[in-house]
């Protein structure tokens, strides 16, 4: 199915990302419905150019030269719910703001995503990144993803067991990158379910607030407070840390022997370590960065670390994408030299 396309040329992408840097898209389409996404794919095939998909731009670094591609900005909206076997299934279009979906779930008394409050971006990104925070991941609740298969041109439903979910990863991100355009996501939530409070920061904040038996609303408000304290809720135009991708580096997950070697190099038995179900060990990227010589607020020119959160790389006035990339590499090199671990960036890079 095709529809008439309104294609713009040379649209600046920096203002459409939370980092705020980067060049223009050669062609640009804003898609309010699935037919427009399909038509954009058909146009890209006809003109033998690449198709790129833009959501909220909260996890994206665009090169200063921009991208020679058709960039489709996903603006599909709509939320519907249905009761299924004692659960509530919520299906949201890919262009819905993610935090609005979390708010809806909490207001309806449904557990499953309350710890994911305040995460910027749109619904469509959540299965791609397997978005997670404070003890929850979206893979805990996702039952299906509606997506356009750019290989066949058909719209299909991908069940959760075929999504290849892993830590900040999925089949949509690394399994078959570029093949799928997420159109909608279905989450199975727990009506009247208990909130998730396993994460230490959340427990401490709840105790401070005097929440002995916290509600879903208590947990949501607590998570939002934690994120604001780290400049990780992008709703403050006066916050000097606001132009970032959030956490720029993944927490490394190593084999037990490798983690032991890092501990030995650190010379600190209190180094944070979290054993994983598969026998590997997750380390704290923030801890490694700080011990490699980068304090909060460390800066080179127009780019530096957040003054509140070591994992966030911030672009200040005058920064370019090349500056962001150079600073990130400086951090990676320092950690690799000090600990023998090369940190993996979390954002997606276009043209870099």
Catalytic residue numbers read 168, 247, 346
CA proximity to 240, closest of 177, 311, 169, 303: 303
CA proximity to 72, closest of 42, 43, 52, 46: 52
Rounded-to-integer distance, Cα 198 and Cα 254, Å: 23
Neighbours of 153 (CB within 10 A): 12
Q: Under DSSP, is residue 50 helix (H, G, I), strand (E, B) or coil?
A: strand
User: What's the token pair of residue 76?
Assistant: 């599909």
Handedness of CA 84, 121, 136, 196 (dihedral sign): negative
CA proximity to 324, closest of 52, 63, 11, 13: 63
Rounded-to-integer distance, Cα 205 and Cα 144, Å: 33
The answer to whether 128 touches 168, Cβ cutoff 8 Å, is no
CA proximity to 196, closest of 129, 117, 275, 299: 117
- Helix ranges restricted to H, the chain: 34-46, 98-107, 125-129, 200-209, 216-229, 256-266, 285-291, 321-339
Residue 180 neighbours by CB under 8 Å, 6+ apart: 145, 147, 148, 149, 150, 158, 171, 172
């Amino acid at each position: 199915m095709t529809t008439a396309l309104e294609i713009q040329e040379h649209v600046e992408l920096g203002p459409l990302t939370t980092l705020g840097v980067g060049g223009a898209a050669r062609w640009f389409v804003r898609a309010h419905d699935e037919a427009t996404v399909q038509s954009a794919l058909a146009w890209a095939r006809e003109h033998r150019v690449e198709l790129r998909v833009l959501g909220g731009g909260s996890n994206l670094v665009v090169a200063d030269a921009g991208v020679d591609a058709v960039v489709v900005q996903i603006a599909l909206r709509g939320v519907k719910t249905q009761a299924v076997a004692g659960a509530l299934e919520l299906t949201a279009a890919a262009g819905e703001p993610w935090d609005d979906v979390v708010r809806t779930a909490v207001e309806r008394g449904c557990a499953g995503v309350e710890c994911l409050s305040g995460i910027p971006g749109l619904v469509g990104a959540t299965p791609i990144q397997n978005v997670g925070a404070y003890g929850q991941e979206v893979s805990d609740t996702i039952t299906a993803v509606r997506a356009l298969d750019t290989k066949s041109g058909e719209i299909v439903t991908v069940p959760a067991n075929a999504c290849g979910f892993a830590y900040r990863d999925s089949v949509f991100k690394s399994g078959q990158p570029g093949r799928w355009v997420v159109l909608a996501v279905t989450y199975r939530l727990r009506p009247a379910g208990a909130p998730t409070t396993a994460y230490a920061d959340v427990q401490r904040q709840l105790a401070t607030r005097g929440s002995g038996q916290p509600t879903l609303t208590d947990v949501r408000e607590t998570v939002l407070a934690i994120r604001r304290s780290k400049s990780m809720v992008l709703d403050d135009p006066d916050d000097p840390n606001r132009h970032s991708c959030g956490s720029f580096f993944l927490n490394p997950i190593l084999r037990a022997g490798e983690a032991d070697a890092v501990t030995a190099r650190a010379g600190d038995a209190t180094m944070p370590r979290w054993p994983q179900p598969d026998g590997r060990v997750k380390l704290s990227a923030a801890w490694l960065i700080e011990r490699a010589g980068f304090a909060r607020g460390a800066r080179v020119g127009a780019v530096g670390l957040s003054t509140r959160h070591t994992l966030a790389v911030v672009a200040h006035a005058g920064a370019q994408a090349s500056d962001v990339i150079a600073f990130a590499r400086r951090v990676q090199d320092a950690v690799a030299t000090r600990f023998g671990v090369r940190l993996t960036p979390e954002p997606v890079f276009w043209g870099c």
